[in-house]
Amino acid sequence: MKTIQRVMCMGALIAASFGAAAQTYGPKDEGRRFNDGSKVVCKNVEVQRNAKDPNRIAGTATGAVVGGLLGNQVGGGNGKKLATVAGAVAGGAAGRNIQGRSQQKNGDRVVERRCERQYR
């Protein structure tokens, strides 16, 4: 019983230490100075937003299916299986690439204000 309590306490301490380590700053902190000579500086950054499918799953899946179907048309026996797998892999990579280029061209661009602490 005591072992379980010790493990739970250690887990809580570790979780608390990770939670306290990440410090974020916002526009309200701009110009804030610290004792070590550092200060918070904010910049406008253009960010691309692709809310529909940021991981490009649709393009990858579609490309894999099409590539697998095309690969299945080649060879016979074990060669046919190998061509099907190779076609699916190549098609998935191509579909992911095509969807990524399309999203980059047609994606929404938003300007965000990002702040970070600069050390001297």
Q: Which residue has the higher pLDDT, 40 or 120?
A: 40
Q: Which residue has the higher pLDDT, 83 or 47?
A: 83
Please give the mean pLDDT across all residues of the chain: 81
Q: Read off the pLDDT band of 1 (50, 70, 90).
A: low
Q: Read off the pLDDT band of 22 (50, 70, 90).
A: low
pLDDT in the model for residue 13: 54
**Burial profile 63-96: b = 16 or more Cβ within 10 angstroms, e = fewer:** bbebbbeebeeeeeeeeeeebbeebbebbbebbb
Q: Read off the pLDDT band of 101 (50, 70, 90).
A: confident
Of the given ranges (14-18, 48-52, 68-72, 99-103), which has the lowest mean pLDDT? 14-18
Q: Which residues pair with 44 in a beta bridge?
A: 113
Q: Read off the pLDDT band of 2 (50, 70, 90).
A: low
Q: What is the pTM of this model?
A: 0.51
